[in-house]
Structures are given as structure tokens and as C-alpha cells.
A and B are shown apart, each in its own frame.
Chain A
Amino acid sequence: NAGVMQNPRHLVRRRGQEARLRCSPMKGHSHVYWYRQLPEEGLKFMVYLQKENIIDESGMPKERFSAEFPKEGPSILRIQQVVRGDSAAYFCASSPSLDRNSPLHFGNGTRLTVT
């Protein structure tokens, strides 16, 4: 049973370009969460999605960031017109249910570097 798959593992973008980060949840998991980790810091929640629905985007910056989880295919975190401050590790996690006693299973992350 494959874990949460994220790609690419590393992504380099110049300022002003777009970054697309992909996440395939574990099989059977319909709840996807995106987190951002700045260097030497903890993980900060960005957005929570179920299939075709954004449930909680309280951690998403208001501009340039968007996320989707289509009926078919992976979840996508999209950052438009990247700036140096977007450089971070972006983690995707999935869960099979809303049970608050279940852990989230994390992917290995995408390290975004903006030059």
C-alpha cells in the first residue's frame, strides 16, 4: 500500500514563475491537507480538501495561492508569481476519515526554492 506521494521532491523557480505541487493521497483516503514548513520552523496548516471541495482554507495566503482536489487525479497546490518568501517545504497529508483520533499520513514533501 503506497504512502502519500508528492512530486516533485525538489522544485526551483525564478521569481514571477508559477509553481505546481502535486499530491496523491494514500489509497482509500479522501481527506487531503497541505502544510508549509519554513526553515527551522514547525508545520503551518494551509488548506484542507475533500474530493472536489475546499473545506478549510484558513491558512492559505489570500493571493497567489490556490489548491484543488479534483474528482480524478492528484491534489494540486498552485503558487502563482512566486517570491523568495515562498521558499519552503510543502507537505501534503491524507487521512481516511474525520476521526480526530486518526493520525495524518504525510508525504515526503516538496522543497521549493525561489531564485
Chain B
Amino acid sequence: AQKITQTQPGMFVQEKEAVTLDCTYDTSDPSYGLFWYKQPSSGEMIFLIYQGSYDQQNATEGRYSLNFQKARKSANLVISASQLGDSAMYFCAMREKYGNKLVFGAGTILRVKS
């Protein structure tokens, strides 16, 4: 079974600095997609960024980038120039081969300090 591990329950970052949120995964499927979602205190799930297992380049989306290291099975999210509005829970997820459901990690709470 596929598994996502987020080892950082909580992180602090100073406003305007960069922060890396860790994510490792386990799968035997050579083809998969990795996703990051943001859940602010209001509760909605916001899709941030995606990385395909065959993508040669690391994904970027504005201030979000993905540090994808396939051999290490890690897909860390990098947020540059942190803003107060980045304070939220962040989930790493992988789309499974069978059934195509998303499997989520436990999440990391990020707090941006002013």
C-alpha cells in the first residue's frame, strides 16, 4: 500500500523567509502523482502544486516549489518569502494507482511569525 509520511507536526518561520516542509512517500508503482494542499483555519482544502513521477524538472507555482528527489522518495514543499497568510496546515498527498484516490500524510502546521 502506498504511504505518505510528514515528520514535522509543526513549523515556525519568520515572515519573508523561506521554509521547507518535508514529505516522503512509499510506493511500488513507477507512475504516480504527488500533490500538496493547504488547509487554512477556515477549513477548506486548497490545491497548491503537483509533481509527476516522470517529470524531469521540479514543479514551481509562484512562491511554491517542489524539491523532488525520486531516488530518496521525497517531495518537499518549499515556500519562499513567507507571508502571514501562509499560516495553515499543509498536506502532502499521492494519487494511488488503484482506484485513483488520494492518500494523505498527517500534515504539518506552519506558523509564520511577524
Contacts and interface: CB of A to CB of B under 8 A. Distances in A.
Contacts of A111: 43
Given A35-B104, A41-B106, 11 more contacts: A33-B102, A42-B106, A44-B104, A55-B99, A56-B101, A100-B97, A103-B33, A103-B47, A104-B95, A105-B47, A106-B37
Contact of B105 (A42, A45, A105, A109): A42
Nearest to B37: A106
Interface in B18-52: 31-33, 35, 37, 43-45, 47, 50, 52
Contact of A43 (B32, B44, B91, B98): B91
A93 to B, nearest CB: 7
9 contacts: A42-B106, A43-B102, A48-B100, A56-B99, A89-B43, A95-B100, A99-B100, A109-B43, A109-B44
Contacts of B35: 103
Contact of B44 (A33, A44, A108): A108
A43 B50 contact: no
Contacts of B37: 106
Nearest to B47: A103
| Chain A interface size range | 20 to 34
Contact of A104 (B43, B97, B102, B106): B102
A48 B100 CA distance: 9
A65 to B, nearest CB: 16
What secondary structure prevails in chain A residues at the interface with B?
A: strand
Given A103-B47, A105-B47, A109-B44, A43 B104 contact: yes
A69 interface: no
Interface string B89-114: 00100011111111111110000000
A100 B105 CA distance: 17
Interface in A61-115: 89, 91, 93, 95, 98-106, 108-109, 111
A42 B43 contact: no
